[in-house]
Amino acid sequence: MRAVVCRKWGSINLLTISNMPPPKLGPNNILIEVIATSANYADLVMVAGNYQTRPNFPFAPGLEAVGIILECGAEVKNFKPGERVMALLNHGGFAEQVIADASVCFLVPENMDDNTAAGFLIAYVSSHVALRWQARLANNESILVLGSAGGVGLTAVEIAKVMGAKVIAGASSNEKLKLAYSRGADYLVDYSKKDLKSEIMNLTNNSGVDVCFDPIGGSLFDSAFSSVGWGGRYIHIGFVGGIPKVPANRLLVKHRSAMGSALRYFVRYRTDLLRESVLELIKWWQAGHLKLEIAGEWKLEEAVSVLKKLEERSIKGKAVIKLKS
């Protein structure tokens, strides 16, 4: 089968398009013929050898996919061949076939197109589990969303609005902020031109926000953390801008909490909450509250160039790799 293949840790320039043997089916697995997958920042981290898990060589990156079930393992009872599913993956989405654990596969609604299904799970579920189960965002609370035009940040804006929060979208350009505004953001802050903390304090009458959703880290952390009010929660879900250090004294003095939210935790240990999240998200999508921003559609042969765009942070929304019409 054709795939984007990684044979050594390092730059994405080392990836090749070549043939791999088809994956082996386990008793709790589903074999999927991939229709489409999407590129995520974690793919870059995995290829570099810095991800939480390191697959054996050779492997294909790709942490989510939509496709048609070809075969089910002996212990799989709730799916059957021919059904269209979207799946969370350990890796392997950038290939014509992939193996997924049945516990993290979900039937795709009939009215959901393949491109949306290809990028739906990681972007929306990452944000939902962070806001629903970690931050426990409540109706009428305020939230600052950093990187609000990115693949995950934009979904956090949408989800927070559905949950009844007042959303302050932060981004590094007016163009990006317009996109966040179109998804329901109440207030906009261009942190490339304005002091983030000052803007947040002005917008919250010096109270600070109840929750900060941070998929970026890096140099934004200090001012964003200072923008969190008494008893507030800082949710860290990514480090595309660098890994920040959390000063413990600043947690204490305002009774704040800082916590990570890792989708892999819910995949491994709380599939019950994961499934609740997916079902609620599908319900919201069907009601018209969510609209996944698709940056574009590319062929498998263009996957490396797409990953480069992702590395350069020049993509707004989700980049879809289409393998089959």
240 pLDDT higher than 80:
no
pLDDT at position 41, please? 87
Flag whether 131 is in a domain.
no
pLDDT at position 252, please? 84
Flag whether 265 is in a domain.
no
Arithmetic mean of pLDDT, 173-199: 93
325 pLDDT higher than 90:
no
* Among 29-38, 218-227, 229-238, 304-313, the range of highest mean pLDDT: 29-38
Arithmetic mean of pLDDT, 79-88: 98
CATH code, domain with 194: 3.40.50.720
pLDDT at position 178, please? 94
Residues 247 and 312 in one domain: no
**pTM of the entire structure?**
0.92
Give pLDDT tens digits for 58-75. Answer: 999 999 999 999 999 999
- Band (245; pLDDT cuts 50, 70, 90): confident
Residues 29 and 111 in one domain: yes
Residues 158 and 228 in one domain: yes
Query: For a pLDDT cut of 90, what percent of the chain falls above it?
Result: 83
Residues 84 and 148 in one domain: no
pLDDT at position 261, please? 94
Residues 255 and 293 in one domain: no
Flag whether 184 is in a domain.
yes
Flag whether 304 is in a domain.
yes
CATH code, domain with 78: 3.90.180.10
Flag whether 75 is in a domain.
yes
Residues 46 and 81 in one domain: yes
Flag whether 266 is in a domain.
no
Give pLDDT tens digits for 101-111. Answer: 999 999 999 99
Flag whether 96 is in a domain.
yes
Q: By residue range, what is the domain housing residue 55?
A: 2-121+274-322
Residues 255 and 279 in one domain: no
Number of domains in the chain: 2
Query: For a pLDDT cut of 70, what percent of the chain falls above it?
Result: 99
Residues 181 and 256 in one domain: yes
Residues 8 and 85 in one domain: yes
pLDDT at position 81, please? 98
**What is the 3-state secondary structure of the chain?**
CEEEEECCCCCHHHCEEEECCCCCCCCCEEEEEEEEEEECHHHHHHHHCCCCCCCCCCECCCCEEEEEEEEECCCCCCCCCCCEEEEECCCCCCECEEEEEHHHEEECCCCCCHHHHHHHHHHHHHHHHHHHHHCCCCCCCEEEECCCCCCCHHHHHHHHHHCCCEEEEEECCHHHHHHHHHCCCCEEEECCCCCHHHHHHHHCCCCCEEEEEECCEHHHHHHHHHCEEEEEEEEECCCCCECCCCCHHHHHCCCCEEEECCHHHHHHHCHHHHHHHHHHHHHHHHCCCCCCCEEEEEEHHHHHHHHHHHHCCCCCCEEEEECCC
Flag whether 269 is in a domain.
no
β-strands 29-39, 318-322: how paired? antiparallel
Residues 196 and 116 in one domain: no
Residues 177 and 75 in one domain: no
Contacts of 152 (CB under 8 A, 6+ apart): 122, 123, 126, 127, 215, 237, 238
Identify the domain boundary among 260, 293, 311: 260
Residues 54 and 97 in one domain: yes
- Band (16; pLDDT cuts 50, 70, 90): very high
Identify the domain boundary among 260, 292, 313: 260
Average predicted confidence (pLDDT) for the chain: 94
